[in-house]
């Protein structure tokens, strides 16, 4: 008998760390972790198997389904917005072709199993592209279908993969003899704001100035914040991001009125993050040195997201507001991680 498993791609990344710990602590799920680098030692006991491999490797994915019956896929692997700009075509291959490979695997698995494989896909605030700073500042909290003109390869990839998920769920093989009535993938996506974790430091994102500022301050390292002090976007801490993913996964399908949902927690300017961080770590050596190119990217992302659809359809609500995020999660956990004296 093949083992029933939850597949997590990009398992060694920021969200992967939080998600694996959560699933291992709260469910009996057998986790298969896939990443291009070996899984962190601290996570290895929490998974059934970890595989070092590439989501572009069709043979590897083929072998996966020979050995495992996949019930849910958390497809976390991707190249983030800043990194993707250095090699947009490679980012496209990983972000889009990789997702396509996994969607096809999920549809095939759904047909074999006679039941839908759930496909949980983190999308991003980068799917938005507000044309000017003036409009950004004036804008009301963005709903899922507003301002969808991303200016980065990563944002384009995320937006397109949201559509691919909708296509594979609803229209895949729509002209086949069975008129597309066979089992198909159950695609569900969340558009995340900037994420901050106490455990990991992101790499290659454009919202990274938030987490980088606080991790650098706690280590007493100098940090140059690459956006202007007034720059504002929404953020969320990792426990809430994980909560959002598992809550959407658990929601009854008939309650879901859309494929893609915004979630948000608190919006802060870089200056406000700086003030909080400096208060917690008075010796922090942070200054602002604006990178105009990265600034331009953040200037297209909304200051606030409207997450009312998620609240209505699957009872979404963050557990960590700004005060709790910093004072009950980030500052204590990051302080103890680097063992900075109080
Ligand atoms: N944190 C991501 C990035 O900056 C946005 O999803 O690329």
Atom of ligand 1 nearest to the CA of 206: 4
pLDDT at 341 over 70: no
Please tell me the residue having the least CA distance from ligand 1 atom 6: 124
Contact 147, 127 (CB under 8 A): no
Q: How confident is the model at residue 46 (pLDDT cuts 50, 70, 90)?
A: very high
Are residues 137 and 303 in contact, defined by beta-carbon separation less than 8 angstroms?
yes
Residue from 191, 207, 262, 297 to probe ligand 1 pocket by mutation (most atoms less than 8 Å from CB): 207
Can you give the pLDDT at residue 206?
97
How many Å separate Cα 163 from the centre of its chain?
17
Ramachandran bin of 180, using left for φ above 0, alpha for ψ from -120 to 50, beta for the remaining angles:
left
Higher pLDDT, 28 or 153: 153
Q: Identify the pLDDT of residue 183.
A: 85
Average pLDDT over residues 148-169: 98
CATH, domain range 78-195+237-265+304-319: 3.40.50.720
Determine the pLDDT at residue 177: 86
Other Cβ atoms less than 10 A from the Cβ of 94: the count is 20
**Any atom of ligand 1 within 6 Å of the Cβ of 81:** yes
Q: Is the pLDDT at 30 greater than 70, yes or no?
A: yes
d(C-alpha 256, C-alpha 312), whole Å: 9
Query: What digits encode the pLDDT tens for the residues 254-283?
Result: 999 999 999 999 999 999 999 999 999 999
Sheet with 68-75: strands ordered across:
49-52, 31-35, 3-9, 68-75, 118-124, 186-192, 260-262
Ligand 1 pocket, residue 123 CB under 6 Å: no
pLDDT bucket at 3, cuts 50 / 70 / 90 = confident
- Provide the pLDDT for residue 179: 78
At residue 115's C-alpha, the angle toward residues 175 and 18, to 5°, is: 115
Instruction: Provide the pLDDT for residue 277.
Output: 97
Distance (Å, whole) CA 156 – CA 79: 12
What whole-number distance in Å separates Cα of residue 299 and Cα of residue 253? Answer: 35
pLDDT tens string 172-201? 989 988 877 788 999 999 999 999 999 999
How far apart are alpha carbons 248 and 313 in whole angstroms? 9
Mutate to test the pocket of ligand 1, among 15, 126, 264 (most ligand atoms within 8 A of CB): 126
Separation of 139 CA from ligand 1 center, angstroms?
20
Q: How confident is the model at residue 1 (pLDDT cuts 50, 70, 90)?
A: confident
The reported pLDDT for the residue numbered 318 is 98
Backbone angles phi, psi at 273, to 5 degrees: -65, -45
């Amino acid at each position: 008998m093949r083992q029933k498993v939850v597949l997590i791609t990009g398992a060694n990344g920021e969200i992967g760390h939080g998600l694996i710990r959560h699933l291992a602590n709260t469910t009996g799920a057998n986790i298969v972790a896939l990443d291009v680098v070996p899984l962190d030692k601290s996570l290895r006991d929490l998974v059934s198997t970890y595989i070092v491999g590439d989501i572009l490797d069709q043979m590897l994915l083929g072998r996966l389904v020979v050995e495992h019956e996949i019930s849910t896929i958390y497809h976390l692997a991707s190249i983030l917005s800043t990194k993707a700009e250095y090699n947009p075509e490679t980012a496209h291959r990983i972000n889009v072709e990789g997702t396509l490979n996994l969607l096809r695997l999920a549809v095939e698995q759904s047909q074999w199993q006679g039941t839908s494989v759930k496909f949980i896909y983190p999308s991003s605030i980068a799917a938005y592209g507000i044309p000017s700073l003036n409009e950004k500042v004036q804008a009301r909290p963005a709903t899922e279908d507003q301002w969808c003109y991303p200016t980065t390869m990563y944002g384009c990839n995320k937006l397109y993969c949201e559509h691919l998920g909708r296509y594979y769920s609803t229209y895949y093989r729509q002209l086949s003899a069975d008129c597309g009535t066979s089992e198909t993938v159950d695609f569900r996506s969340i558009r995340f704001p900037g994420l901050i974790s106490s455990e990991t430091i992101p790499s290659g994102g454009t919202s990274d100035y938030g987490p980088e500022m606080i991790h650098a301050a706690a280590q007493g390292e100098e940090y140059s914040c690459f956006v202007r002090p007034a720059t504002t976007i929404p953020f969320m801490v990792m426990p809430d991001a994980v909560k959002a993913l598992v809550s959407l996964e658990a929601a009854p399908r008939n309650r879901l009125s859309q494929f893609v949902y915004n979630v948000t927690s608190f919006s802060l300017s870089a200056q406000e993050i700086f003030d909080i961080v400096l208060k917690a770590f008075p010796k922090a050596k942070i200054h602002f040195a604006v990178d105009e190119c990265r600034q331009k990217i953040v200037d297209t992302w909304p200051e606030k997201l409207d997450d009312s659809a998620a609240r209505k359809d699957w009872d979404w609500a963050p557990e960590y507001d700004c005060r709790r995020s910093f004072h009950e999660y980030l500052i204590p956990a990051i302080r103890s991680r680097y063992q900075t004296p109080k």
